């Protein structure tokens, strides 16, 4: 009898666990690194613990994220650039998307920050100084009150949205110096600055770590949006509600 009850109990536990697993869902998010680094990557672990759902992050670019959404490969496309520019970029890739099929909502703000090496003593840079640094007209930190050390501008090649925003707001669309060292994505930019005492570069605020210093600069922000095909699904609404409850942005 005891053996029978034990088997029934174990069977009940197994069924309970299996039903819980069956209820768990996957939310697939793709798009720009600035949006992902600011909103979704920081909340991933806690959201998965809290909800039991899996949060799959597929970082690429805003345009590639939108194309993936159109193809049904992800549930959310996210970006820190306007939807209009994403649609135009997709069209250039040969994918025409009807904007009437999409819904978007602003969930946060992306803030562009300037990273320098941990040993750099320069604390503040004006717009004019930044223009001269990234334009190659100021080439040594001693011109800014820092050490007698050559400035190394680090510029991302896979960060188009961030580059465009910084270029518009700070550089007045002037070209970045031809001597800039090319990095790839946001992580690559931060790693190169961490390794080079003379380096300077831009990244989303969400990429800030103790391995680099953040310089005080004029505020440069852009909306972070999430885009869905039609009305957000229940699992997407659940994710956004969690973000709203934890960070309160959507209620502001």
Question: pLDDT tens, 98-109?
Answer: 999 999 999 999
> What per-residue confidence (pLDDT) applies to 248?
65
Tokens 């001693």 — which residue?
142
| Cα distances (Å, whole numbers) of residue 90 to 41, 65, 83, 99 | 25, 10, 10, 12
Q: What percent of the chain lies above the pLDDT cut of 70?
A: 89
> If you classify domain 111-222 with CATH, what class do you get?
alpha beta
Q: Is-contact 78 31, C-beta < 8 A? A: yes
CA atoms within 13 A on the CB side of 227: 31
Over residues 187-219, the pLDDT tens digits come to 999 999 999 999 999 999 989 999 999 999 999
> What per-residue confidence (pLDDT) applies to 119?
97
Q: Span 223-233, mean pLDDT?
A: 96
Would you list the domain boundaries of the chain? Answer: 2-109+224-251, 111-222
Binned at pLDDT 50, 70 and 90, residue 18 comes out as: very low
Query: At 144, is the secondary structure helix, strand, or coil?
Result: helix
> What per-residue confidence (pLDDT) applies to 14?
47
pLDDT at 12 over 90: no
> What per-residue confidence (pLDDT) applies to 8?
43
CA-based nearest residue to 211, from 223, 199, 222: 199
Domain 2-109+224-251 matches domain 111-222 at the CATH topology level: yes
What CATH number labels 2-109+224-251? 3.40.190.10
> What per-residue confidence (pLDDT) applies to 4?
46
Q: Average pLDDT of the chain?
A: 91
> What per-residue confidence (pLDDT) applies to 5?
44
Rg (CA), the chain: 22
Binned at pLDDT 50, 70 and 90, residue 160 comes out as: confident
pLDDT at 3 over 90: no
């Amino acid at each position: 009898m005891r053996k029978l009850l034990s088997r029934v109990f174990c069977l009940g536990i197994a069924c309970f666990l299996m039903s819980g697993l069956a209820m768990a869902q996957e939310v697939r998010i793709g798009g720009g690194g600035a949006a992902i680094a600011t909103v979704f990557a920081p909340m991933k672990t806690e959201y998965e613990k809290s909800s039991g759902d899996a949060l799959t992050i597929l970082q690429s670019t805003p345009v590639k994220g939108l194309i993936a959404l159109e193809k049904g490969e992800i549930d959310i496309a996210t970006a820190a650039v306007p939807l209009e520019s994403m649609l135009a970029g997709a069209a250039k890739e040969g994918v025409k998307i009807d904007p009437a099929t999409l819904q978007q909502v602003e969930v946060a703000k992306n803030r562009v920050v300037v990273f320098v090496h941990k040993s750099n003593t320069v604390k503040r840079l004006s717009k004019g100084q930044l223009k001269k640094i990234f334009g190659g007209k100021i080439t040594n930190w001693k011109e800014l009150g820092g050490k007698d050390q050559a400035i190394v501008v680090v510029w991302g090649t896979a960060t188009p949205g961030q580059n465009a925003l910084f270029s518009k707001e700070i550089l007045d669309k002037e070209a970045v110096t031809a001597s800039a060292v090319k990095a790839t994505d946001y992580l690559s930019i931060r790693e190169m600055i961490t390794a080079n005492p003379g380096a300077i570069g831009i990244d989303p605020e969400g990429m800030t770590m103790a391995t680099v210093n953040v310089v005080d600069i004029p505020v440069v922000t852009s909306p972070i949006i999430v885009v869905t095909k039609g009305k957000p699904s229940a699992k997407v609404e659940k994710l956004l509600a969690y973000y709203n409850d934890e960070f309160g942005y959507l209620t502001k």
